[in-house]
Every structure is written in structure tokens, then in C-alpha cells.
Structure 1
Amino acid sequence: MVERARDVRLEDLATTAETLRERPLPAWDSMSHFADDPERARRYLMVLDTINFSFWLPEGMPGPRPGGYTQMAERLRDVYRGGAGLEDPDSLAVIDAETLGRLLGPFPMLAERAQALNELGRHGYDGLVGETAVDTARNFAEELVSYRDVSGYDGRQVPFLKRAQIVAADLLGAGLAGFPDLDQLTCFADYKLPQVLRHLGALEYSPPLAARVDGWVELQSGEPAEVEIRAATVVAVERLREELTHRGRRLTSVEVDWLLWHSAQEVFPMRPYHRVRGIYY
């Protein structure tokens, strides 16, 4: 579909590949994540990834700024250390937005985050983590609606499964699983990866889409341009992985994702990321 895309196209990947070629892989951030007990840490990551979406706030929004993913990970870590009971499926099944906000802070979409946790609590943890990364991602996407990240485009279904795949990668990265098939996962199509890929010249937007993104105009989840951005991100990472292999560095797509995501935290200034309000990323 990327070849038929109307608003997003791939450009030269050489600059991006060279930028990443010598960059060290980031280590798992054990300080920001709960790691005091392996079984509780697995539950912690499943809870964290269930609410791992949509951290951006409108420009000029009054009130406290809750922060992003790392701040949520740290606040949930502290909840687990304090024994507030958030890991218990029965507690998750009935948690509401007010309680979640009191525990974690004023993140956007608290009602949607609470609903996703309700679903996880009703299901329970059993049967979600499989023997492989692919099995784990599939289980989450099939068993939990909030993880079923599939978009329509020109009559086709396009599965991204960002959070379903990231659960498997997080469990592996934290040393809580020994999946042999990390190379079978794609990158995690979010809003930071296409931002840095565009900054490095790997992605180009049409003038109308560029004007919307650069003007902080919110895109709608599932609209063609938004699906094109995410699809082009996945393809760009796959081609970057191949390009890096040609340059002597063999990585998985997930590892390329990690390099790009961490790069995006360090580059300033950059043009804005595309803004979409939804539960999938």
C-alpha cells in the first residue's frame, strides 16, 4: 500500500542508516520500571502496556503537565512498590478514571485507560503470554479488544498491533521472557518514529498533509493519511534494517525501533509529530 499512498512516501534511507550504524542499543531502563519481583514485574508490564497510549497534550492546555511514557512507567512503578493493589485482576476490573488519575496523575484519556484495564482485569493474566513473541502479540490482539490495532485502507485490513507487539518486546527487554523470535516482530508504529524518520529525510509528506502536521492539526484515527504514516513507518524500518545489514550491522526491526525512538528524545528542534487521539499508540 505504501507504493499507492497519496500523502506519504519513502525517500532516501542512507542518512538515517548512517546515523544509526554506530549508535549503541539502549539498555532496558530498570530504574524507571518496576523490577522488584519477576512475577509482579510481568504483571506490571502488562498493566503498563495496556495504558501505554496517547501522551500528547494540546498546546496551551492549562493545568499540570503529566509527562509521557517514562513518567507513567515511574508512577505505576511507585504504585506497585506501595502495594496499592492495582495488579490484582479484580481491582483492575472495576477501576475507574478518577481512581486511576489519583494513582498516576492527570494523563489524557483516563476513561479509555480505565476501560482498557477493566478489560484486562476481566480476562486476567493467564493465557496471554505465549512461548514466543509472535504468540504473545497474537494472544493480546485476539483476546483484548483494546490491543486489536487494525486499520482499514482501500478495502484492506492493515494490522499494526503496536501495543500487542510491544508487550512481547518489553517482557524480553526486561529479561522476563526468553522469546526466540524477536526478529518476527515489526517496529511499533507510533508518532515519534515517523517524526524522527521525517526529520532524517526518510519520509516525506504531501504539502497538504505537511501543513496539517506542522500546524498541529489533529488527524483522525484510521483516516487514510494517518494509516499511510504508520504503514510507511513500518516499511521504512524494514528497509533500514536491510540497509544496516548491508553496512555490517545486523539488527531486528524492534532494535531499529529502539534506536530511532531514543534518537527522537534527543533531537531538537524537530518538526511536530502527527497528532491522533486514540488508544492504539
Structure 2
Amino acid sequence: MVLAILESCKQVLKDSQDVKINYSRIPYLANKICEKILNGILVPEEFKKSPLHPKFEDEGAVNWIFIIDSLNFCFFDPNNKRHWTVTWKNEIYTGYFGLCAAINKAIEKGINLTDMKICKNLTKEQFYEILLGDDGTTLPLLEERYLCLQQSAEVLLKKYNGDFKNCIVKANQSAQKLLEIISANFPYFRDESIYNNEKVLIYKRAQILIADIWSSFGGTSLGTFHDIDSITMFADYRVPQVLLYYEVLEYSKKLKDKLINGTLLLHGHPEEVEIRAASIVAVDFIVFEIKQLLVKSNSTKICNSIMVDTYLWGFRRENAAMLENTPYHKTLNIFY
């Protein structure tokens, strides 16, 4: 299935009207990321570096990751100029990390959201209160998030004894098999579009769920996947923005003007599909280039799309002011 993701994205690029890859810019970015890998700054276990993420490798950590990634989508609100923030342990968090902080705060208060029975019985009002920001702001698509939580809990309780670990065990150490299990059982992870009458597979959130488990467990125990390198990057808003900043992606003037003006792109719109497909293909080329560099350096260190995506996503957060004038697309949907 992952090969179909990459292949379907390559097919989009053949007909793409508004997004192109500038292959001549790939070596520069690949060299930059390769240095981080060689210097031990970018490692497979990046997930554990955050104080918000689980530090123990157990079933509770697996369910925590599953719940977080069931709710991990769309953190910008076109109707609210204020940032949604959550304070936890005297630190203020926004976006994805704000979600982690909100879930951790709920668990500390005795609402154990790693227990699927508790998730299933949570009322909408209780859920909304958990995600209430510091100043009373809320996240967009709250109703959709609540439905995702309910469906997650219900499926796990009915089919997998309430533990996502059982999905992983059933996958038999195959990332692709786990991807099939996730997409077959949880519709809100089934991220697909139609482009030129052909189905395009993206599966951003399903793949990030697998990647988070791999990274959290350091590629061992429940995080062992013999085909982890077949996972593509996670096509969202911000990684394409960084690729555009580094001129790896090129947008048409028409598309750039739309993004600068803040025009929302619908999920499945040709321009939106082109941005996401080009990002997946571009990162695949970057990974290939980095692997060649690692071989030339006689290094035993590894690289895959997960690590490159992690670097690019983190780069945007660390250099938000620098990328302020680099446009990025915005879409209100549950898929990223």
C-alpha cells in the first residue's frame, strides 16, 4: 500500500499544473540534513526528546500515541486570530504540542485517556473541556475530533480488546500491514483524493501513527518494523512550506497568490493534491540523496522519510519568524 502511495503521488506530478519539484535544489537540503544525522543531532528516537511524550515503552504509551494521533489534525482556525494555547507544568504549548499537554493534564486529573472504556464514555462536554485553551479559545473541528475519539475507542474495544498494541501484534512487524489494519478499521485515517479521475493515496495521519510508535520504541519491541523505510513523509501544511522555502517545491503564480491572500483550499482540490503529492515525492528523493551521502561517509547511521519529515517540521517551528513570508496552504479537514 505504501508503494501505491508513492506511485500515485508520482502520477500526480506527471500532470501537475501548479506545483513542480526543483530537483537541482535537493542536494543542498540533503547535505544539510545529512550533517544533522552524522553529528547525532537528528536520530530515529526524536519522538522521545519531547517532555510531553511518554518516556516508558509499554502498552500505556502505545494507547497514548494512538489517542493523540486520532485527534492530531487541523490546529489553525480561520475564524480565530488568537493562538490556542495550553499550559502544563509552567510551560505554554500550542498546536500539536498543545494537544499533548491537554491530554496529559486530563490524565493527571484522573481522566485516563489511555483507557478506551473511559474514552468511549466521555461526554462531548467533558471532551470539549479537556481541549479548552488557556484563555477560553478552542480548536476547530471539535465535533469531528470527538467523533474520532469515540470511533477509536469503540473499534479497539470491539475488535482489539481495547489495546492498540493488539493491532501492532497482528501486523507482525510490518509497517505496511499495520497501515492496512489502520485504514481498514478507522475511516478517519483513510486519507484519499481523486485527481484526474484517479485515486491518490496520502494517508498522512495513519503513517505518522506508525512512525510515532517506531520512534517512541526506538525501532525495538513493539516499534520493530522490518519495512519502516517504506513509510512516506507526512503531507501536511508546514513541511511543504519548508520545501518551498528551500526552493525544492515551486508554485505557480496563481497558486502563490491564493496562498498569500489566505484562500482556503478544499481537501481534494487539484492544487491541494499537487502540493501534498509533490512533497511526498520530493522527500523520497531527499532521502535517497542522504542515503548516498551516508554510504560515501562510511557511516552506519540510518535515514528515512520519517526522520527527514521530523527535521523539516521542526525547522519550521524553530524558525517561524524566518518563514513568515513563505506562504503555506490551509485546509479545514480531519486528514492533517
TM-score in terms of structure 2 length: 0.78
Alpha-carbon distance in structure 1 between the residues aligned to 2:266 and 2:211: 27
1:102 corresponding residue in structure 2: 129
Of 247, 258, 265, 1:201 maps to: 247
* Matching of residue 278 in structure 1 with residue 305 in structure 2: no
Secondary structure in 2 aligned to 1:57? coil
Secondary structure in 2 aligned to 1:276? coil
Q: Is the 8 A contact 1:101 1:107 kept in 2?
A: no
Q: Which moved more, 1:248-257 or 1:147-156?
A: 248-257
TM-score in terms of structure 1 length: 0.92
1:264 corresponding residue in structure 2: 316
Q: Give, in angstroms, the shift of residue 142 of structure 1.
A: 0.9
Of 6, 15, 31, 1:4 maps to: 15
2:27 corresponding residue in structure 1: 14
1:75 corresponding residue in structure 2: 102
Q: Aligned residues: percent identity?
A: 29
Residues 64-213 of structure 1 mapped to structure 2, 5 A cutoff: 65=85, 67-105=94-132, 106-124=138-156, 126=160, 127-129=166-168, 130-131=171-172, 132-175=174-217, 176-213=222-259
Residues 35-50 of structure 1 mapped to structure 2, 5 A cutoff: 35=55, 38-50=58-70
Secondary structure in 1 aligned to 2:167? coil
Of 286, 299, 304, 1:240 maps to: 286
Superposed CA offset, 1:9-33 (max 9, x none): 0013233223212122152235112
Q: Give, in angstroms, the shift of residue 36 of structure 1.
A: 5.2
Bigger proportion of residues as helix: 2
Q: Give, in angstroms, the shift of residue 65 of structure 1.
A: 4.6
Please say which structure displays the higher CA radius of gyration.
Answer: 2
Secondary structure in 2 aligned to 1:137? helix
Q: Give, in angstroms, the shift of residue 167 of structure 1.
A: 1.0
Q: 1:194 to 1:149 in 2, by over 3 A?
A: same
Alpha-carbon distance in structure 1 between the residues aligned to 2:236 and 2:50: 22
Superposed CA offset, 1:218-253 (max 9, x none): 111110000000000000000111121232365111
Q: Which amino acid aligns with 1:269?
A: M
Alpha-carbon distance in structure 2 between the residues aligned to 1:151 and 1:54: 18
Superposed CA offset, 1:147-198 (max 9, x none): 1011111111111111111111111111152222211111111111100000
Q: Is the 8 A contact 2:111 2:118 kept in 1?
A: no
Q: Give, in angstroms, the shift of residue 256 of structure 1.
A: 1.2
Q: Is the 8 A contact 1:191 1:273 kept in 2?
A: yes
Q: Is the 8 A contact 1:195 1:272 kept in 2?
A: yes
Alpha-carbon distance in structure 2 between the residues aligned to 1:75 and 1:133: 29
Unaligned runs of 5+ in 1: none
State the Cα RMSD in Å. Answer: 2.0
Unaligned runs of 5+ in 2: 1-11, 87-93, 133-137, 161-165, 296-301
Q: Which moved more, 1:15-24 or 1:150-159?
A: 15-24
1:254 corresponding residue in structure 2: 306
Q: Give, in angstroms, the shift of residue 89 of structure 1.
A: 2.4
Secondary structure in 2 aligned to 1:247? helix
Q: 1:63 to 1:179 in 2, by over 3 A?
A: closer
Of 74, 78, 81, 1:58 maps to: 78
The number of residues matched between the two structures is 281
Alpha-carbon distance in structure 1 between the residues aligned to 2:84 and 2:313: 25
Runs of 4+ in 1 over 4 A off after TM superposition: 62-66
Q: Which amino acid aligns with 1:188?
A: F
Of 25, 28, 32, 2:42 maps to: 25
Q: Give, in angstroms, the shift of residue 103 of structure 1.
A: 1.1
2:90 corresponding residue in structure 1: none
Q: Which amino acid aligns with 1:6?
A: Q
Q: Is the 8 A contact 2:84 2:139 kept in 1?
A: no
Q: 1:82 to 1:38 in 2, by over 3 A?
A: farther
Q: Which moved more, 1:223-232 or 1:163-172?
A: 163-172
Alpha-carbon distance in structure 2 between the residues aligned to 1:16 and 1:9: 17
